[in-house]
Amino acid sequence: MWSFIKNREPNIHMKRLFEPFLSYRHFRTRAVDRQNTSSTGLYGFDHLKSPKGFQRFVDEAIERSSELIDYISGMPSSVEIIRAMDEISDTVCSVVDSAELCRQTHPARGFVEEANKASMKINVYLHFLNTNHTLYNAVKKAEQDGHLLTEEARRAALHLRIDFEKGGIHLPSGKLDRVNQLNMDAHKLCREYGENIINDPGYVDIFPASRIPRQIQHLLKPIYRLTSGVSKESLGSYEDEQEEGFQIMTEPRTLFSVLQLTPDEQVRKMAYLKGNSVPHANHEVLDKLINSRHELAQIMGCKSYAEFVMQLNMASSPEVVVSFLLEMSNMVKEKADEGFNTIRNLKRDVCGQRCVDLEPWDEAYYTTMMKSSAYSLDSAVVASYFSLPQCIEGLKLLVKSLFGARFDSVPMAPGESWHPDVLKMCIHHPEEGDLGFLYLDLFSRKGKYPGCATFAIKGGRKISETEYQLPVMALVFNFLRSHDSSIVRLNHGELETLFHEFGHALHALLSRTDYQHFAGTRVALDFAETPSNLFEYYARDYRVLKKFARHYSTGEVIPEKLVKSLNGARDMFAATELQRQIFYSLVDQTLFGEQLSVPRDTNSIVAHLKRQHSNEKHVEGTHMHIRFSHFLTYGAGYYSYLYAKCFAATIWKKLCQEDPLSPTTGTLLRTKLLQYGGAKEPADLLTDLVGDGIVRYHNGGIVPDVTSCLEEMKLLDDKNRHIGK
């Protein structure tokens, strides 16, 4: 029932029956009240004024859910059953999502520990809910009796029933017990995998410090070692001297910077080998997870975990996905080969014929060199136009131009924030009022979740004919403060990331669904990344950038020539990057696809697929899959990013490209796409938005039309054109 948690028309009669429940307000966050100035707890929840408040937060969620279960057991009407089920989901989600956000971002150990306890306790309760026959039977009754009058209500009943059955509720007790155990094992293994990545990022010590380019030294930790110095002639002895070096922590962001910008090949090699061989403990964790997921799928009557998870996805089957990926792999191979040869030839020109081949630790460095040379790009110059305050102005511009609303900072009540740097924003429409709230946690700090992510604190839902629960979201980034500047400046890739995550936030903040179950990004997995990919285009369009991207000291508007250079550099090796994403997707499908009778070696699988679908050499002893966390969160679903890339390219070309900031464009995006969340079939939403030519029906599933994406990347020739349709 609550599978999204484990990841991410009412009539008068129904309203009257629900009034006793609606008065029970301790789960309504104060964040929806911008005028409140009295003391509160984290995210506006009164219970979370102290770490121990998480205990009561969980207990009251369970108490409230129990009341609703009792209500449902009285067999009210079908509409009331779905409403009550959705309120249970909303109540439990408040705890799950708040605990997860706290676990990942709160600087106080006490809060993190209590959030961990709350997370474990609520997950135990989720297993009770997912195996509750009273709820399951009520959902089946609601689905069968034909009294659900809206498409969204009927869709909610269908999805709830399928979610229950994916939890094994229809199985005999012995099999159900095993399914529950496997689900709990998988949850623990996913958490362990993530913790291992944080606890064992890998380190490389480099001496002397001069081997590290100055522009990335602020990312690294200075270290020192003693060396024997020059003889003191007068004393006839030697004096020890300190030599300065740097320690590279090979977590992905730092590793990429080192590989991009370090001329010393041996430094790049050491960093690459270490960064792609840790954490060792995840070999066993991933193997256990693959086995647990496969056993679960087989108990549920599926050939593979990939088949199991695709039941409500557009693709519908692993066969459809793999066929799509192999088709794309063939289409990009020739251009990807050309790109690889170009980079290899550059290395040979720079290093001489002694350089036999392009090594995996070379690609980022020589690619960056070629892009900078071809387009005269200087990373410091680029970043000078993207100060973080101006980039936030860019988000405000999007909201104003597209949706006619303001995106403003609002004050927080005492106790609401988890760190002094956190901002609280509100989207406010002049006619509709407040539409939703967003926390921005922008800067890197010790102990914080290391990547970028979107957290749903509250999903939107219709409470009554006159009241709507406003969505509350949090965006988490890890932008770095420079040691020598008070102004944080982003590179262009970071700007795209900011707009990407904001696309997720807008999907949630602008959705207006009857049920929290469908709010915002609670959609089919292979549709979820579409709005976020679409909003990346706004970070690349000069007509948009010139309105907010200004030099941090002079105020000069970003030159159009610079934007063209950025986009030209981005497109230079587009086929290579697309090929890499196809490779990742194929690894994901294979790891969670059909299993052979003999145990499989994941290292061999990854090496084999890399040789088939990538130009990058496989280096023995490296294991990219042991810290690619998308294999956990998107298990058998990583292909969704490629789906989204294609969908977004078509939407941009057909709807946005002519006038990206047009209010007409914004109205269409909001009323035909964003407002529905998951309340309608994704293919119907996409077709209604741009017309035919965005999806294809293939072997019982749906795949994107790739034409716009490949045209944009200049990869569509006459040979491939018929395949893209």
Helix (H) or strand (E) holding 226: strand 221-232
**CB 248, CB 271: distance < 8 Å:** yes
| Local structure of 263: helix, strand or coil | coil
> Over the range 549-571, which residues count as b (16 or more CB within 10 Å of their CB) and which as e?
bbbbeeeeebeeebbebbeebbe
Instruction: Give CA–CA dist 344/288, Å, rounded.
Output: 39
Q: Is 44 left (phi over 0), alpha (psi -120 to 50) or beta?
A: left
* Residue pair 436/508 in contact by the 8 Å Cβ criterion: yes
Q: Burial of 349 by CB count in 10 Å (0-12 exposed, 13-18 middle, 19+ buried)?
A: exposed
Q: d(Cα 161, Cα 51) in Å, to the nearest integer? A: 36
3-class SS of residue 205: strand
- Residue 56 contacts by C-beta under 8 Å, 6 or more apart in sequence? 47
* Structure tokens, 315: 């693709």
For residue 479, give the nearest of 443, 451, 430, 446 by alpha carbon.
Answer: 443
Whether 51 contacts 113, CB under 8 Å: yes
Q: Helices in 404-529 by DSSP H: which ranges?
A: 492-509
Cα–Cα dist 603/630, whole Å: 17
Interatomic CA distance for residues 520 and 511, integer angstroms: 5
DSSP assignment of 14-81 equals HHHHHHHHHT--TTS-GGG-TT--S---GGG-GGGGSTTHHHHHHHHHHHHHHHHHHHHHT---HHHH
Are the CB atoms for 162 and 312 separated by under 8 Å? yes
Distance CA(211)–CA(271), nearest Å, equals: 13
Rounded Cα distance, 222 and 519, in Å: 46
Q: Are 460 and 508 in contact (CB under 8 A)?
A: yes
Q: Take residue 66 and report the two structure tokens written for it.
A: 């129990």
Helix H or strand E segment including 473: strand 472-479
* Sequence-separated contacts (24+) of 621-626 with Cβ below 8 Å: 621/273, 621/277, 622/272, 622/273, 622/276, 622/277, 622/360, 623/276, 623/277, 623/283, 624/276, 625/286, 625/587, 625/591, 626/278, 626/279, 626/280, 626/282, 626/283, 626/286
Torsion sign, CA atoms 125, 128, 134, 139: positive
Q: Is 323 helix (H, G, I), strand (E, B) or coil?
A: helix
Which token pair is 195? Answer: 């913790």
Strands 433-443 and 472-479 turn out to be parallel
Among candidate residues 363, 494, 501, 529, the one labeled active-site is 501
Sign, CA dihedral 695-697-703-705, equals negative
Which tokens is 171 given?
A: 């199985």
To the query of whether residue 192 is one of the catalytic residues in this protein, the response is no
Q: How many residues does the chain have?
A: 725
Residue 429 tokens, joined: 């429409």
Instruction: Give the separation between CA 106 and CA 385, rounded to whole angstroms.
Output: 31
Helix H or strand E encompassing 346? helix 318-351
Active site residues: 501
